[in-house]
Amino acid sequence: MSEEQHETVTPDAETLAARLQEKLTQGIYVFLGLAALTLLEAGLVGSSTIVMMLVGIAKAALIINYFMHISSVWSEDDH
Amino acid sequence: MSSHAIPLKEATIRNRQGLWLFFLTEVFLFGSFFVLRFSLWGDTRPELEQTAGLIATFVLLVSSLAMNRAEVAIAHGDKTKFRNNILVTFVLGAIFLGMILVYEWGALLGLHGEVLGIPVGHILPGDGVYGSVLYLMTGAHALHVLGGLVFIAITLFKGMRGDLTVKDHFFAEACALYWHFVDLVWVFFYPALYLIGHVVDIH
């Protein structure tokens, strides 16, 4: 692929600000999900390992997908 | 020697892939500690201070949110939000590290009684499998937190110097990914150390 094909136009300030707000809001929703799952597992103290691991996997999925943007490993998507 | 410039977007994807390969090696490291915990402790655990564990977990969780906001901000050209949020991440990371040192490693550091109304750690590394596994898991994780704090400090410095731009901010992205990975490890270490199994008296 040539360098020209990789060139992208930097969005204007208004578009960037709108996208920023959207991403920040998404981050808060993800955090609230993680917080709820953490409280759930703390409330389940002493219960089975499988249940605890399922809650852990759900939390890990949120972090990997939304905070670590795993899909961007294979794409040119920016965060 | 010939030089071949790789387009920025392609370089970023390659860098991301390299970073994720690094995370894979870390998964093997932390995964081995995780397996060790279950093979040596089984369905038991030492008595750890639940309040300290939950607060520390929330501190790390909020730091992850702040790091996400910092990364998103620099990717969209908002340097003020980037600076404020990465500073919050640094402070919360330092608090997490301090809490682990006081409430888990307290006995080793010669602390007694309570700090801020929460009893300090009473387990020593020599307290059988419980002490050794606890110190191994929290110690390895704490070292990564410490490394993350250095990474955050460098990222903040680079951001303030103007090295990070909307188009080229992989350094900040790598810092954020590393910090979220540290949080990810704790997602599994927290229940493994504090929540799973019945409490046994180790003394």
Single pTM value for the model: 0.90
Total tally of structural domains belonging to chain A: 1
Interface test with A, best of B24, B76, B88, B200 (most A CBs within 10 A): B76
User: Which of A45, A72, A76 should we substitute to test contact with B (largest number of B Cβ atoms within 10 Å)?
Assistant: A45
B75 vs A55, A68, A78: nearest CB: A78
Q: A63-69 long-range CB contacts below 8 Å, 24 or more apart?
A: A63/A30, A63/A34, A63/B64, A63/B180, A63/B183, A63/B184, A63/B187, A64/B184, A66/A26, A66/A27, A66/A30, A66/B68, A67/A27, A67/A30, A67/B64, A67/B67, A67/B68, A67/B176, A67/B180, A67/B183, A68/B177, A68/B180, A68/B181, A68/B184
Would you say residue A61 lies in a domain?
Answer: yes
Q: Do B77 and A13 touch (CB under 8 A)?
A: yes
Q: How many domains does chain B have?
A: 1
**B198-200/B44-46 β-pairing:** parallel
Task: Please report whether residue A76 resides in a domain.
Answer: no
Q: Give the separation between CA B59 and CA A32, rounded to whole angstroms.
A: 14
pLDDT at A32 over 90: yes
B7-58 pLDDT per residue, tens? 888 888 888 999 999 999 999 999 999 999 999 999 999 999 999 999 999 9
Cα distance from A57 to chain B (closest Cα, Å)? 8
For residue B203, being part of any structural domain is answered with: no
pLDDT over 80 (residue A24): yes
| Eight-class DSSP state of B115 | E
Q: Provide the residue range defining the domain that includes A61.
A: 32-69
Residue A19 lies in a domain: no
CB-based contacts of B31, cutoff 8 Å, min separation 6: none
Task: Give whole-number Cα distances, B87 to A70, B68, B84, B128, in Å.
Answer: 25, 12, 5, 39
Give the pLDDT confidence of B75-122 residue by residue, as tens digits.
888 899 999 999 999 999 999 999 999 999 998 988 888 889 888 888
Chain A: closest CA distance from residue B51 (Å): 10
Q: The complex's ipTM? A: 0.89
Q: Cα separation of B70 and B73, whole Å?
A: 5
**Closest CA of chain A from B114, distance in Å:** 22
CA distance B77 to A23: 13
- State the smallest CA–CA distance between residue B186 and chain A in angstroms: 10
Whether A51 is in a domain gets the answer yes
Probe site for chain A from B17, B19, B21, B68 (most A CB atoms < 10 A): B68
Provide the residue range defining the domain that includes B96.
8-197
Determine, yes or no, domain membership for B23: yes
Q: Does some domain include residue B189?
A: yes
Is the residue at B68 inside a domain?
Answer: yes
Q: What is the CATH number of the domain that holds B154?
A: 1.20.120.80
Residue of A nearest to B51 (CA): A42
pLDDT digit string, tens, across residues A48-60: 899 999 999 999 9
Q: What is the predicted pLDDT for the residue at B166?
A: 81
User: A17 contacts in B (CB within 8 Å)?
Assistant: 76, 78
Residue B202 in any domain: the answer is no
Distance in Å, alpha carbon of B75 to nearest chain A alpha carbon: 7
For residue A7, tell me if it sits in a domain.
Answer: no
- Does B82 fall in a domain? yes
For residue A15, tell me if it sits in a domain.
no
Q: Which residues of B touch A73 (CB under 8 A)?
A: 13, 16-17, 20
Position B200 confidence tier, pLDDT thresholds 50, 70, 90: confident
Domain annotation covers residue A63: yes
A:40-59 residues touching chain B, CB 8 A cutoff: 41-42, 44-46, 49, 52-53, 55-56, 59
B2, part of any domain: no
Residue B3 falls inside a structural domain: no
